[in-house]
Chain A
Amino acid sequence: MIDRVELWIVIIGLGIGSYGLRFVFTGIIGDRELPEWVLRHLRYTAVAVLPALVAPLVVWPPAALGALDPARSVAAMVTLGVGYYTRNTLAAILSGAGALYLGLYLLG
């Protein structure tokens, strides 16, 4: 059971911290020119952070008790493939979900 005081410390602390992270550059730096090397790194933010968040969840899914799960692996590959070739997030999600349910049905 999660402690109530801890829960609210986390909610409020995380809220303030997340807002600070979102505000730091747009709010404080404004439109002052950032150096080119900073911008060059920032272009890769999303493709650098999000895969790192996903990879362990795909390879060691907690719902499969941390073991590689065939249905979930196939669903992940279908999502990635469809998303890459169609450039359409929604199509990728629907295909991935379809593949997951089909996989769970067939492979149990």
Chain B
Amino acid sequence: MRAITNTSIYWQGVRDGSPFLLVVCPFALLFGVIATEAGLNVFETLAFAVIVIAGAAQLTALQLMADDVPTVIVLVSALAVNLRMAMYSASLAPHLGAAPLRQRAIAAYFTIDQSYALSIQKFEQHPEMTITQRMRYFFGVVTLIVPGWYVATAVGALAGKSIPPEFALDFAVPITFLAMIAPMLRTMPHILAAGTSVVMALIFAGLPFNLGLLVAGFGAMIVGAQSELWFGRRAARKDAS
């Protein structure tokens, strides 16, 4: 195996993260356009994206505000969409928890779908990585993605209404998420969890305050964890017999 240096691991992160510009930028562009159409100016749109840095939650909040939903419900619903960030944080904690507090505080801001997905994959494949190397990889991943997020948001806000509806930018969000989910379906428990998530989200779509998302998310996590146990026990029985 190739020796890993601290510098090369940073650049590895940059390299692994760079294709996600093609995921993140259209999403940011979309938010910029939609925010402008909802009446936000360029500064407000950019501030939104920089401060919150979570597209799905931003779009949820925007949609609900445009629908004149009470502020408290806007906040709770958008935070519910972002609850997965707490789960990412918990999942990264065993890998990054030993880093200095200041680094962890900065890394928290940059905990996004892509930095989480790439980092956790890397850390699990290479348990021998030092804490410094893990942090470098993590920051490498966001080096291009996050500035891309800001710039594309601003471009979207500036372009605003001049993008015709024929471009069907509305569907950029589902396509982006689906393209992120599909490669994660590595094992049967992952597939069962995703399937449960879809079915429960559709069944509970009518629940108020976006609660359907939470119900489906927790239900699917339980199905994933339980089926992992079940498949594990079955494999153990096979080995024994």
Residues on A lying within 8 angstroms of B by beta carbon are 1-2, 6-7, 9-15, 17-19, 21-27, 29-34, 37-63, 71-72, 75-76, 79-84, 86-90, 92-94, 96-97, 100-101, 104
Contacting pair B228 A54 (CB below 8 A): no
Residue of A32, A45, A47, A72 with highest tally of chain B CB at under 10 A: A47
Minimum CB distance partner of B178 in chain A: A79
Contacting pair A18 B85 (CB below 8 A): yes
Interface of B, helix, strand, loop or mixed by DSSP:
helix
Give Cα A30–Cα B185 distance, bound, in whole angstroms.
29
Report the contact-size class of chain B (Cβ under 8 Å from the partner): 35 or more
Asked if B220 is an interface residue, CB under 8 A from chain A, the answer is: yes
Give Cα A34–Cα B40 distance, bound, in whole angstroms.
42
Q: List 17 A-B contacts (CB under 8 A).
A: A7-B40, A14-B51, A14-B82, A30-B97, A30-B104, A41-B221, A43-B224, A45-B91, A45-B217, A46-B117, A47-B193, A50-B113, A52-B217, A54-B177, A79-B179, A87-B182, A90-B19
How many interface contacts (CB-CB < 8 Å) are there between A and B? Answer: 299
Contacting pair B104 A49 (CB below 8 A): no
Residues on B lying within 8 angstroms of A by beta carbon are 19-20, 22-23, 38-40, 44, 47-48, 51-54, 56-58, 61, 65-66, 71, 74-75, 78-79, 81-94, 96-98, 101, 104-105, 107-109, 111, 113, 116-117, 165-166, 168, 170-185, 189-190, 193-198, 200-202, 205, 212-213, 216-225, 228-229
State how many angstroms separate the Cβ of B101 from the closest Cβ of chain A. 7
Instruction: Choose among A31, A42, A56 the residue that contacts B87 (Cβ–Cβ < 8 A).
Output: A42
Interface of A, helix, strand, loop or mixed by DSSP:
helix
State how many angstroms separate the Cβ of A24 from the closest Cβ of chain B. 5
State how many angstroms separate the Cβ of A50 from the closest Cβ of chain B. 5
Instruction: Choose among B20, B83, B165 the residue that contacts A49 (Cβ–Cβ < 8 A).
Output: B83
Contacting pair A59 B202 (CB below 8 A): yes
